[in-house]
Each structure stands twice: as C-alpha cells, then as structure tokens.
C-alpha cells in the first residue's frame, strides 16, 4: 500500500510539473489565452502568473518562510499519511493529495522563487491557480467530509468493539 501511495503521489507531482512546464514554455509568451467559453460567455481562461506569495498573493516576497513552513507541514502530512494509512482510504487519499500539492508548489518555490499559476476563472473574481492548488483544495474538501461523516462512524465502531471486549465485572455474569 505504501509503495502504491508513494507512486500515486509521484504521478500527481509529475502531472502538476508537466502542466507548469507547458505554462512556462507555451503560455508565458502569450500571457493569456481563451480556454473554456460558451459563445461570448467566458468561464475559464489560461493566464500565466508568477506568484511569489501564498493564497491570493498574500505573504508576497516571503519565499524562505513559505518554503520552511510548507516543509514542516509536509513532514507532518507524510507522517500522518503513513500513521493512519489503515484507518480510512478517504483520509489517506486526502492527505496524499495534500502532500502532492504541497510538494508540487514547493518545487516551484525552490527552483524558480515563485509558483507558476495558470487557471483563471472568469465566472467570478477569483485567484489564478494551478494543478497543485486543485489537489490541496480537493484534499481539504475530502478532509471536511471525512471529519463530518466518516470519522464519527469509525470512532463509534471502535467504541462499540471496545465495550464488547470488556470482561464482566468480578467475573460474575449472573442475573440477580
């Protein structure tokens, strides 16, 4: 399971880096291009952006802090992923997506000094983002679903199992 999980993370990171490579070499010279439109109604464009900050450009210029903080979070995430691997496939998948997204963006920060973003939603005003950001967002949604719907069931089952395995008090099983 650990090898399969590691391979999946490597594949996800590779996909993220491939799309970013394409953006740097094909999209940067153009700046922006139409992507998904219905007639004159713009839904999604591809726009090359170099983000040297965090979400919505916050913490701009804090490269080393962002690298250090992300590294610590990734170490914790990797530990938790392997620690709770057998607890739930949803939990493990969510953490794996989170780790893949974090590694994808930290590669850019270390290699380039910024993160390459390219997806520009035109339906409403939103940040320009990349594949790694999609992984992190989906992981966050999965963790919310897990914590609300799945984890309580796991805990309830564990509690019921623990109560069933308790020996009767003083060895007395009689009905008085």
Instruction: Please tell me the distance from the alpha carbon of residue 134 to that of residue 97, in angstroms, as a whole number.
Output: 9
pTM: 0.88
Domain boundaries, the chain: 2-152
Q: How far is CA 72 from the centre of its chain?
A: 15
Instruction: Please tell me the distance from the alpha carbon of residue 33 to that of residue 8, in angstroms, as a whole number.
Output: 31
The 10s digit of each residue's pLDDT in 83-119 is 999 999 999 999 999 999 999 999 999 999 999 999 9
Instruction: Please tell me the distance from the alpha carbon of residue 26 to that of residue 113, in angstroms, as a whole number.
Output: 20
Q: In the prediction, which pLDDT does 56 show?
A: 72
The 10s digit of each residue's pLDDT in 23-59 is 999 999 999 999 999 999 999 999 999 999 988 778 9
Quick count: other Cβ atoms within 10 Å of Cβ 164? 7
Q: How far is CA 47 from the centre of its chain?
A: 22
Closest CA to 103 of 61, 75, 125: 75
Q: In the prediction, which pLDDT does 176 show?
A: 46
The 10s digit of each residue's pLDDT in 122-159 is 998 888 999 999 999 999 999 999 999 999 999 998 89
Percent of the chain at pLDDT > 70 equals 94
* Strand, helix or coil for residue 54: coil
Is it the case that residue 70 has pLDDT exceeding 80? yes
Which active-site residues does the annotation give?
117, 133
CA 130 to each of CA 2, 116, 171: distance values in angstroms, whole numbers, following the listed order: 27, 7, 62
Q: In the prediction, which pLDDT does 169 show?
A: 54
Is it the case that residue 170 has pLDDT exceeding 60? no
């Amino acid at each position: 399971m650990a090898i399969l999980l590691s391979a999946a993370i490597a594949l996800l990171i590779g996909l993220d880096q491939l799309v970013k490579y394409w953006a740097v070499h094909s999209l940067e010279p153009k700046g922006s291009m139409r992507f998904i439109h219905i007639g004159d109604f713009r839904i999604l464009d591809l726009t090359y952006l170099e983000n040297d900050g965090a979400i919505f450009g916050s913490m701009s210029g804090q490269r080393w802090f962002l690298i250090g903080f992300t590294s610590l979070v990734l170490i914790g995430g990797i530990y938790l992923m392997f620690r709770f691997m057998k607890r739930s496939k949803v939990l493990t998948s969510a953490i794996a997506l989170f780790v893949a997204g974090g590694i994808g963006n930290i590669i850019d920060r270390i290699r380039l000094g910024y993160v390459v973003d390219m997806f520009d939603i035109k339906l409403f005003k939103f940040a320009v983002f990349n594949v790694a950001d999609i992984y992190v967002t989906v992981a966050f949604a999965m963790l919310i679903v897990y914590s609300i719907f799945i984890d309580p069931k796991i805990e309830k089952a564990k509690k019921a199992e623990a109560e069933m395995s308790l020996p009767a008090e003083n060895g007395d099983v009689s009905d008085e």
